[in-house]
Structure formats: structure tokens, C-alpha cells
Amino acid sequence: MRMFDPHIHMISRTTADYEAMAAAGIVAVIEPAFWVGQPRTHVGTFEDYFNTLLGWERFRASQFGIRHFCTIALNPKEANNPKVAPGVMDLLPRFLQKDGVVAVGEIGYDDMTPEEERYFAAQLELAKQLELPALIHTPHRDKKRGTERSLALVREIGIAEERVLVDHNTEETLPLVLATGCWAGHSIYPHTKMDEARMVALVQRYGSERILINSAADWGVSDPLKVPKTVDAMRAAGIAEADIERIVWHNPVAFFGQSGQLDLEELAAEPAIDQRQLHEGNSVLRGQQAKVTAAREPGR
């Protein structure tokens, strides 16, 4: 089964992760722009970060047969830093129109400060103007209230709910999201947030419509194989293949396809791998034999 991991921070993962993900059936990923574990002190580092997501990271994924897309935004945490926030906002219109950008994100609340709200609203407005989907991060602390306030802001700004994906849901927040027209993401983590067994129970209860799962793997304790592992758990629990495929393929393709940035025919074909290629003169190889495989049409 082809799988999409629609939320993973590959910039902090290794080539061994890319290999394991491709072997497990992951053919496409979305890398949301987020914070990097420590506060940034210059707007210029955001610019280079966005360029890395669009350039080197996209190239690196391609070298392992994985298609890489990204979302661009000022993240909720750094919305609180007046040294960088206004300057990052100025960068966004230019970056959001680049090839491979499938949404405005991650935006939302972290601590639910007035500054976070201001930049969250401004970026929802930007998504609405540019007719791009929006990816909303929900806070780890006080998640229910953060989700309620996020959904209220979506209504207030008037962005189409079918263009909004609310992420990191739990048993408590999923019914709130499904009661709107928004889509619902779930981050399957090794110890917190959501795990495979709880996700199986949610799918058994709510079905597969507008439901997505992701690994949200980053530089912290996380697992880039959580999408295939959850597929295994859903299959073992007797969830229909059509529902599983909808969750890990058709739903992310339908949601992010609203950006006009996903070429469905290209996504359906097995990607060509050519490790002889270079990105600005650089290769992922360290002297070993380059792997080269031709693209194959589906079913051939």
C-alpha cells in the first residue's frame, strides 16, 4: 500500500530513516515549517530554513524515491518573538507561492498568547487570500481549549473549513473537529499524544472520512515509521483496506491537492531514483555506488 506521511520534519532525520520509510511503503511526505528546538535570533535563518525545505530536503528525499512537499509559516512558538515575527511575515507571500508548497503551516496556538492569536489570524487570512490550505498545530497543554479557540478563529476569519486541517488530535478534540468541515490529523507518537491502539479505536468509532495520521517525527523522541506501524495495527484489528487506504493516501492527497501543487499522475507512478544527481554541487553519497532506477507507471 502506498502511504503518505503528511507531517514529518525530515530536516532532523537521517538517510537511514528515508531508506526505512521508502522500504515500508512511504512514497510522499509533507514537511511543515516549525521551530527548530531553540529560539532563532535572525529573520535570515528562517529564510535559509525555508530554502532548505524547498531545496536540499526535497532533493534528499528524491534520492530515496520519496516525494517531498512542505508547508511554510511563522510557527506559533516564535510568533511570541518580536525580534523575528514581523520579518518572517514579510517573507511569507513570496515563499508560499513557490513550487512544492502545499499549505500555510504550522500555524496555531502554543501558549495561547495574544501575539500567537494575532499571527495565527493573519496567516489564516493569508491562506484565504492565496487560496491555500492551512495546517493548524494544536497546543500540547490545554489542548481542548486550544482546539476550540482555533475552530472559532477559523469561523471568524471565514476561510473555507474544507481547506483547514487541525492536527495532533486526541479522543477529546476529534469530535470537535469532525463537527465542523475541517479535516483531522493525528500524530502517532511513541509515548504521548496518540498511539496505534488508540488510533485504531478512533477509526472504529468515527470511520475514515476527513481523518489523517502522521508521525510528526522531528528532533525529539519520535518514530518516522509510525504511519506504516499504524497501518499494520488497523489491519490487525480488521479495519477495511479501503478505509486504511483512505486515511494514509486518499485523504492527504485530497486535502493537500487543494493547493494545486500535487501532480496526481506523477504521485501514482513509482518515482525514478538517480543518485548520480547533485543539488548545488552536493550529493547524498559518500563515495558509494549511485543507485539509479527508472520511473514505472502504476501496475507495470
Chain residues binding Zn ion by CB under 5 A are: 34
Cell of 232: 499494520
Taking the complex as a whole, how short is the minimal distance between the CB of residue 153 and Zn ion, in angstroms? 19
Taking the complex as a whole, how short is the minimal distance between the CB of residue 35 and Zn ion, in angstroms? 9
Of the pair 18, 34, the CB lying nearest Zn ion is at 34
Taking the complex as a whole, how short is the minimal distance between the CB of residue 34 and Zn ion, in angstroms? 5
Q: Which helix (H) or strand (E) holds 185?
A: strand 183-187
Taking the complex as a whole, how short is the minimal distance between the CB of residue 72 and Zn ion, in angstroms? 13
Query: How does DSSP classify residue 137?
Result: E
In which region does residue 158 sit, left (phi positive, over 0), alpha (psi from -120 to 50) or beta (all else)? left
HSE (side-chain half, CA atoms, 13 Å) at 135: 32
Indicate the residue type of 134: A
| Largest separation between any pair of C-alpha atoms in the chain | 55
Taking the complex as a whole, how short is the minimal distance between the CB of residue 246 and Zn ion, in angstroms? 23
Of the pair 34, 119, the CB lying nearest Zn ion is at 34
Of the pair 34, 69, the CB lying nearest Zn ion is at 34
Whole-number Å distance between alpha carbons of 149 and 155: 10
Of the pair 34, 46, the CB lying nearest Zn ion is at 34
Write the CB contacts of 103 (distance below 8 Å, at least 6 apart in sequence): 30, 32, 71, 127, 132, 133, 134, 135, 165, 256, 259
